Chains A and B, each alone.
Chain A
Amino acid sequence: MKEPVDTSSPADRALEWGTFLAVAAALYLIFMWVPNEKIQGPVSKIIYFHIASAWLAFFAFFIVMICSILYLKTKDLKWDIISYASAEIGILFTTIVLVTGPIWGRASWNAWWTWDHRLTTTLILWFIYIAYLMIRSAFNEEEKKARFSAVFGIIGFVDVPIIWMSIRWWRTIHPNIVSAGGFAMDPSMVQTLLVSLGAFTLLYFYLLRKGILIQKMRSEFELLKQELGTNR
C-alpha cells in the first residue's frame, strides 16, 4: 500500500502562513490604507480583486498548458493531476472576474456588460475551460482522461491569442459606446495592486497544493475501495 498523503510538511505550513499573511496585508492595504479613486469612490477598490483574479486565472491556464505538454511528453499522471487542479482554480477565478467586472462596470460605466475585447475574451476563455472539464468528465479511464484533456489544454491556450486579436479587431470597427476609459493610477494604488497580485499568486499555489492533495486522496480512496472489493 502507498504511504498516506502528507498534509503537514514544513513547506506546506510555510505556504499556508505566507498566503495568510500576504492576503491579510493586501486586505489591510485595500480597505484601510489606499485612498479611494477620486471619481469612482469606494467602488474603485474592486480593481484590486478584479485584476488580481484575472492575473491568477491566466497564470492558472498557462500552467494547465505547460503541465499538459509535460504529461504528453512523460505520460506521468502527476502532471495531469496538476493541470486538472490548476484548471479548476482558473475557472473559479475567471468566474470571479466575470462577476466582479459587471459590478464595477455598472458603477463606473452604468452598464453591466459591454462586448469589450477584454470581457469577451474572458468569457470565451471561461467556456474553453468549461469544455476542458467536460472532456475530463466524458472519459472514465484515467489514461484517456489525462491524454485527451492534455491535448485540449494545449490547443485551448494556443487559441487564446487568436481569439484576443479577432475580438479586438471586431471592437475597433464597431467602436464601443462605453469606452474603457483611462484609470489614472496613484503610486499608492499601484503599490496596493502589486501586493494584491503577490497575495493572489501565493493563494494560487496554496489552492493548487490543496487541489493536488485532494486528487491524490481520491485516487487512494479508489485503490482502497478496489482492495476491499477483491478481498471480499
Chain B
Amino acid sequence: MHMLTGIKAIVQKDLAAEFRTRELLSSMLVFAVLTIIVFVFAFDPTKAVIRQVFPGMVWVCFIFTGVLGLNRSFVSEKTNDCITGLILCPVDRSVIYFGKMAANLIYVSIVEIVTLPLFAVLFNYRIPLQTAPALVLVIFLGTLGFTAVGTFLAALSSNARSSEVLLPVILFPVTVPVVLGAVQATAAILSGAQTAEWLSWVKILGAFDAVFLVIPFVLFEYVLDM
C-alpha cells in the first residue's frame, strides 16, 4: 500500500509539472505528426504498399516519439538537483522507477491516442472496429515493455554527459523483441488473422514486460546517482 501511494505521488508530481508548461507533451505530439508527414512523403499514400507497411510505420512513430519523452524523464530532474530530493524520499528506490515509468507510459499513451486515428485518416486506412480490443491490448503491452526498459535505461544514461545521444543507442538493441512483437501482432490483427496467430506475439511481449518490470526491483538502486 505504501508503495502505491509513493508511485501515485511521483506520477502526480510529474504530471503537474508537465501540465504547467506542456513543454514535453506538445513537442512529442508535434514530432509524432511530423513523422507521419515524413512517411507520407517517403511512401506514396495512394499505393497498395501502405497496407503492408502501416503497422511498421505506426510503431516507428510511437517508438521515436517515446525516446523523446524518455530522454527528458530523468534529465529534467537534474535541474536544481531535484533528483537528490527524489532519492531522499523515504521510499524504496523502485518506487521512483515505477512512478517515472507510469508517467512516461501516460505521455506515450496520450501521443498514441492522438496519432493512431491521424495515421488512419491521413493514409486512408480502415481499422476494423471489432479488432479494437485486441489492438488496444497489443499497443498497451508494447508500450509498457518499451517504457519499462526505456525508463530504466533513461535513468542510467541521464548520468552521462551526452545522455540524449547515448539513450537511443543503448535502448534500441535491447527493445528488439518489443518492436518485433508489437509490429507483427499489430499487422496480424489489422489483417483480420486468427487469434492464435497473434497470441504468441502477445506472449512474447508479456514475457518481455514481466522480465523488465522485475529487473528494476533488483537493479534500479544502482543506476541512481548520489
List the interface of chain A (C-beta within 8 A of B): 72, 124, 127-128, 130-131, 134-135, 138-139, 144, 147-148, 150-152, 154-156, 158-159, 162-163, 165-167, 169-170, 173
Contacts and interface: CB of A to CB of B under 8 A. Distances in A.
Contacts of A166: 176-177, 180-181, 204, 208
Contact of A128 (B152, B174, B184): B174
B42 interface: no
A170 B180 contact: yes
Interface stretch (B9-17, B50-58, B159-167): B159-167
Contacts, number: 84
Interface of B: 149, 152-153, 156-157, 159-162, 166, 169-170, 172-174, 176-177, 180-181, 184, 197, 200-201, 204, 207-208, 211-212, 215, 219, 222-223, 225
Contacts of B180: 166-167, 170
Chain A contact residues, majority secondary structure: helix
B79 to A, nearest CB: 20
A151 B173 contact: no
Contacts of A127: 172-173
B204 A159 contact: no
A134 to B, nearest CB: 6
A158 B211 CA distance: 9
A232 B174 CA distance: 48
Contacts of A156: 173-174
Contact of A148 (B159, B169, B177, B181): B159
A124 B176 contact: yes
A144 B166 CA distance: 15
Chain B contact residues, majority secondary structure: helix
B190 to A, nearest CB: 15
27 contacts: A124-B173, A127-B172, A128-B173, A135-B160, A135-B170, A138-B160, A138-B161, A138-B162, A138-B166, A148-B156, A148-B159, A150-B222, A151-B156, A152-B153, A155-B152, A155-B212, A155-B215, A155-B219, A156-B174, A158-B211, A162-B177, A162-B208, A165-B204, A165-B207, A166-B176, A169-B200, A169-B201
B173 to A, nearest CB: 4
B194 to A, nearest CB: 12
Contacts of B211: 158-159, 162
A150 B156 CA distance: 11
B177 A163 contact: yes
Given A135-B170, A138-B157, A138-B162, 10 more contacts: A124-B173, A124-B176, A127-B172, A134-B166, A147-B222, A151-B156, A155-B215, A155-B219, A167-B176, A170-B184
A156 B152 CA distance: 13
Contacts of A154: 215, 219
Contact of A162 (B161, B170, B207): B207
Nearest to B200: A169
A159 B181 CA distance: 14
A56 B174 CA distance: 22
A16 B180 CA distance: 44
A128 B171 CA distance: 9
Given A139-B159, A151-B156, A134 B176 contact: no
A144 B225 contact: yes
A145 to B, nearest CB: 10
A35 to B, nearest CB: 40
A114 B38 CA distance: 29
A130 B169 CA distance: 9
B166 A135 contact: yes
Contacts of B152: 155
Nearest to A127: B173
Contacts of A72: 219, 222
A151 to B, nearest CB: 5
A144 B159 contact: yes
Contacts of A128: 173-174
A152 B170 contact: yes
B170 A134 contact: yes
